Structure 1
Amino acid sequence: MSEPARNVRTTFICTIPSAIVTQALAQAGADVVVIDQEHGAIGPEHLHAMIASTAGTKCRPIVRVGKADEAMVKLALDMGAAGIAFPLVNTAQEAAECVAMTRYPPRGRRGFGPFIGHSRWGVSFEDYLAKVGGTIICNIIVETKSAIDNIEEICAVEGINALILAPHDLSVDLGCPGQFDTPEFLKAVERFERATTAAKVAKSAVATTEEQVQSAIARGYANVMMGWDVLMLKNAAANAISWIK
């Protein structure tokens, strides 16, 4: 398999509550791990350890919160997360609220208290705001028809780092679950790609095969989400078991 383009970031989604898993993916060379508190089995007791396990690598730990909840966002960032991925954002106003949760005043309303998180970045508590606070990532997940209908306005919101196209959720909301070749789905993807390109907003795609990765790169995606830890483990085990005839 060819090496990924240098300007394209690789991401893996962690649903297993294990610092060992995140550490292994980070050490393997992943640019980003998404610690999934929306669909994963990860509670606050595992959150810090999973974030901390990426220290010493180039890998950035992003937390996908269960919803755009200020308390969840504050906890994840104060544990040392590099940023937040927000699910089910449907309008520009909602996207602006998400940005505000990840920024300190006067740009936002994040409360200051990185008593734990500063250590993940190798800075002092006093230096966290100046050296890390302004680098926090705010990613918005596009997964509904409403989000597609409002995509141009969402793209115009200042402070969004990337828009993530969630094909499974989007196909369900469009009434064609898992059917990624229907006219409705393809039209939505085309509008998403056109809007993000015009606004020069980075976009992310799910791409779990080499063919899908190369297709995403050719269409201007800056980030490819290459798999879920639990599915990768399950598929690898099933493949190994299949060797026994």
Structure 2
Amino acid sequence: MLNGTYEKLKQRSKVFGTTISHFSWTGVVPLLKKRNIDFVIIELEHNFFDWRDMEGLLRTSNTVALTAFVRITELAYNQVSKVLDLGANGIIIPRIETVAELERAVDMMRLPPRGRKGVGGYDFSGDDLLNKLANYNMEKMIIIQMENPTAIANLGAMLDMKEVAGVIVGPYDLSVSMEIPGQLQHPRFIQAVNDVIEICGKYQVSCGMYMGSSADMKYWRERGMNIIWSGSDIDFYVKGYHALCDTVEQMD
């Protein structure tokens, strides 16, 4: 049976997810699952998780049936294959710019004959090998991040490969690459994001962005984005802590 998030992405339905960026405690996964969440992104690019941390988080995500993506640090086989072997439902590729880079990702992720991924890991435990082989290449999702104008210019050609399950704008890296750092309301930034939405619409591929506020989520949802990615474990912790301190400080 195909993953429910895979089906939603294919239909371009609304999907919502958040980030595990700092908490290696596996109990955070079932806590997230208590609400209406579609996926979690486990951060490998900008954090300190080791492979034991990653294994625990991915194993728990599989146990509670929460779709787990891993944002890798770089496009390297030892990362791509490893996170898939540990149970990731897909990978998020940052800083991707070209068809050639996407072809490398496909080669690392897909089993033969589509790629050269080795057989092994969490997904191949048990006896039903033929069924697992048949579904593996379809079930493992590729999400690509748009973080500079070159990537956007090549997006159509990448989507034409029909390997991408979703496209996510990295707003801060995109704004920095456009030399308007952090100016997410700048007309040029808005136009660049709208270009991504338009291209994804043409190819009928899901798209979204990391959105820092409820206003951002509503704005971009109304403009056609269906992947809503917001928040992180440390962000929730800090906000909750500040809210508690504010309450105490207001007391007599």
Report if the CA contact (8 A) 2:62-2:87 is conserved: no
Maintained 8 Å contact 1:81/1:117? no
Q: 1:57 aligns with which of 64, 70, 74?
A: 64
Instruction: Determine the structure 2 residue equivalent to 1:243.
Output: 247
Q: Which runs of 5+ in 2 are unaligned?
A: 1-11
Write the letter of the residue equivalent to 2:232. W
Looking at structure 2, the residues matched to 154 and 131 of structure 1 have their Cα atoms a distance apart, in angstroms, of: 23
CA RMSD across the alignment: 1.9
1:198 and 2:215 equivalent? no
Q: CA deviation at 1:20?
A: 1.9
Residue 138 of structure 2 corresponds to residue 150 of structure 1: no
Query: Alpha-carbon deviation of 1:218?
Result: 2.0
Shift of 1:183: 2.5
Q: Give the structure 1 partner of residue 91 of structure 2.
A: 84
**2:97 matches 1:93:** no
Match in the other structure for 2:109: 102
For residues 192 and 177 of structure 1, what CA distance do their matches in structure 2 show?
Answer: 19
Aligned with 2:45: secondary structure? coil
Q: Aligned partner of 2:245: which letter?
A: I
- In the alignment, what sits opposite 1:18? 25
Q: Equivalent residue for 1:67?
A: 74
Instruction: Please give the TM-score of this superposition, normalised by the length of structure 2.
Output: 0.86
Q: Could you tell me how far apart the structure 2 residues matched to 1:99 and 1:213 are? A: 30
User: What one-letter code is carried by the residue in structure 2 that aligns with 1:45?
Assistant: R
* Residue matched to 1:179: 183
Task: Tell me, yes or no, if structure 1 residue 8 matches structure 2 residue 14.
Answer: yes
Greater mean alpha carbon deviation, residues 205-214 or residues 228-237: 205-214
- Secondary structure in 2 matching 1:93: helix
* SS in structure 1 at match of 2:237: helix
Opposite residue 202 of structure 1, the aligned amino acid is: S
> Identity over aligned residues, as a percent?
24
CA distance in 2 between counterparts of 1:197 and 1:132 reads 26
User: How far 1:133 sits from its partner (Å)?
Assistant: 4.3
* Contact 2:46–2:73 (8 Å) recurs in 1: yes
**Which amino acid in 2 is paired with 1:109?**
R
Instruction: Return 5+ residue gaps in structure 1 as ranges.
Output: 1-5
Is 1:130 paired with 2:134?
yes
Instruction: Please identify runs of 4+ aligned residues in structure 1 that moved more than 4 A.
Output: none
| Aligned partners of 2:141 and 2:165 also within 8 Å | yes
**Cα distance in structure 1, aligned partners of 2:242 and 2:73:** 30
Look up the match of 2:3.
none
For each residue in 1:55-76, what CA deviation from the matched residue of structure 2 results, as whole angstroms up to 9, or x when unmatched? 3434201111111111101110
